Structure formats: C-alpha cells, structure tokens
Chains A and B, each alone.
Chain A
Amino acid sequence: MTNTKTTYQLPPQISFSQRLKNSLFATPFDFVLTLICAALFALLIYWFIDWAFLSSIWRAEDEPLCKEASGACWSVIDARHRIIFFGLFPFEEHWRSTLACAVMIATIVASCVPWFWTAIRLSALWLIGFSIFYILMHGGLFGLSVITPERWGGLALTIFIFAAVSIIGMPLSILLALGRRSKLPVIAKLFGLFIDFFRSLPLLTILFTAAVITPFVLPGWLQGDKLYRVIFGFALFFAAYQAENIRAGLQAIPPGQDEAGLTLGLKYWHRVARIQLPQAFRNSLPAIVNQFVITFKETSIVTIVGFFEILASGSAAFGTGKWTVHYIEVYVFIGAIYFIFVFSLSRYGAYLERKLRVGHG
C-alpha cells in the first residue's frame, strides 16, 4: 500500500519580507507610491489620535477649556452620556435600564453559542431574557415603579427593538420562505404576494402606518402599545427580506437531499429542520447576517414616529445650551457604539461561516 520511496517535496518558502518586497516595493514607481500612501495614512492616524486623545478635554467641569483646545471636547459625553444611554428614562431608575441592556446583550451573545441551538433551549433562553428585560424596564413587579414604553429610550430602546424584531422576524421569515416554496400554487402565490408587498414598501411607510394609522383601523383591544405595533411592523418588513435570503439558500440545495430524506421516511418538518434549513443557512449566511446588520442600523428610523432610540437621544444630548457646538463628539461616540455592535455581528458571521464549512472542502 504505502510506497516508502516516495519523497515529498514542500513548496518553496517565501519569507514575509520577501513577499512585502514583491507586493509593495517591486519597482521604483511602486516604492514611491507605497511611501506616499504610507505617509498619508500615518498623517490621518496622527490627526485622529491627536484630536481624540492628545489634545482633547475629558471631564465635564473642564468644558470652559474646550474653546482653547484643538482636540475633541469629550466633556459633552461625560456630562450627557446618561441621556444618550437612557433617553427619557427616569434618572433614579437608570440602573434598571443598564441591567436590562446587560441582560439583553447577554441573551443575544448566549444565543450565538452553538450549545443553545435547539428549539427548546433557544425558546427558553429568549423567554427568560425578554421577561427579565421587560420586568426591569416596565416595572410594576417586585416593588419596581411602572415606566411605560413612551419613556424608554437610548441604547436600551435600540437593543430592545433590534432583539424583538429579530426574534419575531426570524421564525416568521422561515415560515414565509417555506410557504413561498410550497407545492400548492395557491399557498405559494399568497406567501409570495405577502413577501413582495412588504418588500416593496419603504420601512418608513410601514412604521408610520403601524404607529399612526392602525389605531384608527384596529379595535382598541387589538392595538397594544405604539412601541409594540412599530416593532411588529418592523418585524414584518425584516421577515419579508430575510425570507428571500433563506429562500435563496433553500433553492441552492440539490433536490436529491430532500429525496434522500423522503426515501428514509422522514416527515416534512423533520426534513425541513434537519436537512433543509441547516444547509440553507449555510448557503446564505452572508446575506442573512447582512440583514441583521442593516436592521440594527435601521432601528434609528423609529425616531420619526417619536421614539428616542440612541441616535435621537444623542441629538437631545447636544441639543441644549453650551453643548450645541459639540455635536461631532456625540456623533463619533454614537458611531463607536454602533460600530462595536455591528462589527461584532459581522465577526460572528465570519466565525459561523468557518464553523459551518466543516466537511464541505
């Protein structure tokens, strides 16, 4: 079997410095170009570091120094960060909002861990996560004072809307995708119509309809709070788009996979859950993660129907008196918060892609 005489040759090794030379300094022109680009890049980095850290003012009480300083005036963040994080939430209850945020982030992170990926564990996790979040934010139990959703705001509201839209929208999108692929033409057409209807409306229109118009149409007991109507409308929009991503993943699966399941006697839902969906998610993972990223950023649109999510709270933070000139610092700060969430999401997506590639060559 084994041929002991075979000698294995390794490919020639190219050192890092050699590769650097080949790609950046191959010709005199390359050399000059590389130097110019490197200098410009270094200059930009220096400017930013100088503005943000070296020449900046940090503490709220140092605000008068800001006029002379050439760098950022982080005093505005020191003084007003509570508005950015908590919006109109009552000051003395801010600890509840902080804790609620932490719980929701922990729930999101936990549901990214493969151990939780069974229907029972995921449902249990989210039920507990949402319950704790709701009790902390809304109160009315365990001696906590009631704070209605109109007064929720800032980061807690952004995270709540994102999590709720995802958790309602994801199962819905799976149902929509499966429905659109139904063998029964009537069902397929109906689901297709539903998806295309919500995809062809701007998110703004849907949120506006949910917030303002539905109270005139729906009976009182069905209306619920404005926040929940907006979340539900948002979830429908999310689900319509995500359904198309999932459907793309389903369509990429060779028909033989389902046939193998059929001949083994597997029922429809078993074939869907164990054969089709795992492969569909793998096939369209980049698009699915992308939709989550877009959704996180689009939560800022709820401002228009009167909710103080983090971006609107930020505007409020520099909206008064001496802070009005420091809007750049506030936006950079909020930008950094968005970046942390979205970058983590996309890194997690990359990790999933590596993990799911197992055995696929």
Chain B
Amino acid sequence: MVEKFDTENGMASGTPAVTMTAVNKWFDDFHVLKDINLQVDDGEKVVVCGPSGSGKSTLIRCICKLEDHQRGTINVLGTELNDKVANIDEIRREVGMVFQQFNLFPHMTVLENCTLALTLVRKKSRRKAEAIAMQFLEKVRIPEQAVKYPGELSGGQQQRVAIARSLCMNPKILLFDEPTSALDPEMISEVLDVMVALAEEGMTMVCVTHEMGFARRVADRVIFMDEGEIVEQNTPQEFFDNPINERTHLFLSQILQH
C-alpha cells in the first residue's frame, strides 16, 4: 500500500504502474492537459475528480491511447506509450477500461460480449472463453443474464457486464471513466459494490468519479483537477477534511452541498 508520496510532483514511492511526465494535450488550440505529472503505483487506487471540462476523462483516456498526447511521456507497466503499434497493443493488453455509457455491443449477448476478445485476442477456444466469461459474470453477480442482450438489462446490470468484460482480459490496471454517472440512483450501489470488491483484491484502479463515499472508502489518493491541471492531491481523509486549495474548497462545497 502506498502510504507516503510527495504531493508536490505526484511521484509515489512504490513500483510504478503508470507514470505520466510533463504530459500536455490540446484539442485544436484548447489546452486540455497542462503539464501533468502523475505516478500510479502497482495496486494503488486513485480517484480523479473535478468539474466538467477539467480534463479528467481525457487524462485516463490518454493512458490507453484513446486520445493522443502531444508532449511529455506516458509509461505504462514499463512500456512507453508512443506511436509504435506493438507498444500500444502491449499496453492495451494490460489495461482495461470501463465507460460511462457502458459501450456493450448491442448485437451480441452478454456472454458473447465477454468472449469476443478472449477468442479473437487471447486465442482461447470457445469453450474455454465461455468458462472464463461465466466465472467473471458470477463475480459481478449476474451469471443468470448471460444469454440476454444488453438492451434487455438495466443500466446497473449493463455496467456490471462491462466490468466483467474488462476483467475477462485479465488486466493489470483498470480505468473507470465515470462508471456510475449514467445510472439511475438506485443502481449506483450495485456497481460500486463490485468496484469495492475489486479494490479489496488489490487491482490497480484509476477512477474518474464523483462518488465521494467510494473515494473515502477505497481510494489511496484523491486527485483534484481543474482547467487541465492537477490542482491538489492527497489521501481521502486529508483531501475531504482539510482541502488546501481554494478551487478544491469551492468544488467540494458544490458537490457535497446536498
């Protein structure tokens, strides 16, 4: 577990899983990431929060190359993330991603969603792939829905399937991009329960979320972003109880108001 880190430059002291050094990104001339320095350690759980448009989603999308960064370096599990196809493939093999909109494949059953990459990327036999998929569907407590299509499931169930689909690829790092933001309130906890269980098993997680209860309970570190910068990062305890920066204050007062 990561106990101490230098809050000045975001460098933690354990084995690095993700290292971002002076990362900059622009959408046309909009500077969306400004000099991001961030290290996520093996087994660490990091929660990223911040107002909309602050660059938090872009940050984690850069880690699995859904977005290109234009300056700086990103290193994932010892592999440099550049334009080399082999490197990108290598990194995507080890990094899973869970999306706000689930992004399940609507024309395939839940089981087919889970086995697709196992058979095509991992080259498993169909039977073996199905066994693995069922194992993870059981883990997210949804095995009875295996033969249904995503459109027949509730949002919470779909998101749990999406998590199981990622887990099938046996990732070392899981990225969550606002996994509960598209859900009805009564479905949020079933998804968070799965995420908590994963965290307890020691998965390395980077979660963009506004679920502050989850952050308090699970996170080793909370990062606050605003206008493309990492404004503040600290342990959840310190972050919520003694925020240092003015903007963090404002943000927390806004989301914790109700």
Q: B59 on the interface (CB 8 Å rule)?
A: no
> B121 touching A266 by the CB < 8 A rule?
yes
> A266 touching B120 by the CB < 8 A rule?
yes
A259 interface neighbour in B66, B93, B107, B149, Cβ under 8 Å: B66
Q: A358 on the interface (CB 8 Å rule)?
A: yes
> B103 touching A359 by the CB < 8 A rule?
no
Segment among B8-16, B94-102, B245-253 that sits at the interface with chain A: B94-102
Q: A114 on the interface (CB 8 Å rule)?
A: no
CA of A361 to CA of B106, assembled, Å = 10
Given contacts A262-B92, A265-B92, contact A256 B107 (CB under 8 A): no
Given contact pairs A259-B103, A264-B92, enumerate 7 new A-B contacts (beta carbons under 8 Å).
Answer: A262-B64, A265-B93, A266-B121, A356-B107, A359-B109, A359-B149, A359-B152
Question: Please, which residue of chain B has its CB at the minimum distance from the CB of A274?
Answer: B116
Q: B138 on the interface (CB 8 Å rule)?
A: no
A256 interface neighbour in B99, B121, B149, B166, Cβ under 8 Å: B99
Given contacts A264-B169, A278-B107, contact A359 B116 (CB under 8 A): no
For A356, list chain B residues within 8 Å (CB). 107
CA of A119 to CA of B150, assembled, Å = 26
Binary CB contact string for chain B from 194 to 226 against chain A (1 if under 8 A, 0 otherwise): 000000000000000000000000000000000
The 10 closest A-B CB pairs, nearest first, are A359-B149, A260-B103, A264-B117, A256-B103, A263-B97, A265-B121, A359-B151, A265-B92, A361-B151, A278-B107
Q: B56 on the interface (CB 8 Å rule)?
A: no
What would be 9 A-B contacts, judged by CB atoms less than 8 Å apart? A256-B101, A256-B103, A263-B92, A263-B95, A263-B96, A265-B121, A267-B120, A275-B105, A361-B152
For B116, list chain A residues within 8 Å (CB). 264, 266, 274
Which secondary structure characterizes the binding site on chain A?
Answer: helix
A254 interface neighbour in B66, B95, B101, B109, Cβ under 8 Å: B101
CA of A361 to CA of B95, assembled, Å = 32
Binary CB contact string for chain B from 114 to 133 against chain A (1 if under 8 A, 0 otherwise): 00110011000000000000
Q: A313 on the interface (CB 8 Å rule)?
A: no
For A359, list chain B residues within 8 Å (CB). 106-107, 109, 148-152
Q: Kindly name the residue among A265, A266, A356, A358 whose own CB sees the greatest number of chain B CB atoms within 10 A.
A: A265
For B89, list chain A residues within 8 Å (CB). 265
B104 interface neighbour in A260, A265, A270, Cβ under 8 Å: A260
Q: A279 on the interface (CB 8 Å rule)?
A: yes
Binary CB contact string for chain A from 216 to 259 against chain B (1 if under 8 A, 0 otherwise): 00000000000000000000000000000000000000101101
Binary CB contact string for chain A from 55 to 79 against chain B (1 if under 8 A, 0 otherwise): 0000000000000000000000000
Tally of chain A residues near chain B (CB < 8 A):
22
Q: B165 on the interface (CB 8 Å rule)?
A: yes
Query: Interface on A for B, CB 8 Å cutoff?
Result: 254, 256-257, 259-260, 262-267, 270, 274-275, 278-279, 282, 356, 358-361
For B96, list chain A residues within 8 Å (CB). 263
Query: Interface on B for A, CB 8 Å cutoff?
Result: 64-66, 89, 92-93, 95-97, 99, 101, 103-107, 109, 116-117, 120-121, 148-152, 162, 165-166, 169
Question: Please, which residue of chain A has its CB at the minimum distance from the CB of B66?
Answer: A259
Given contacts A257-B105, A260-B99, contact A266 B151 (CB under 8 A): no
CA of A98 to CA of B39, assembled, Å = 74
Question: Please, which residue of chain A has its CB at the minimum distance from the CB of B104?
Answer: A260
For A263, list chain B residues within 8 Å (CB). 64, 66, 92, 95-97, 166
CA of A275 to CA of B116, assembled, Å = 10
> A358 touching B103 by the CB < 8 A rule?
no
> A265 touching B117 by the CB < 8 A rule?
yes
CA of A356 to CA of B149, assembled, Å = 12
CB distance from A333 to the nearest CB of B (A): 42
For B162, list chain A residues within 8 Å (CB). 260
Given contacts A254-B101, A259-B99, A361-B151, contact A274 B120 (CB under 8 A): yes
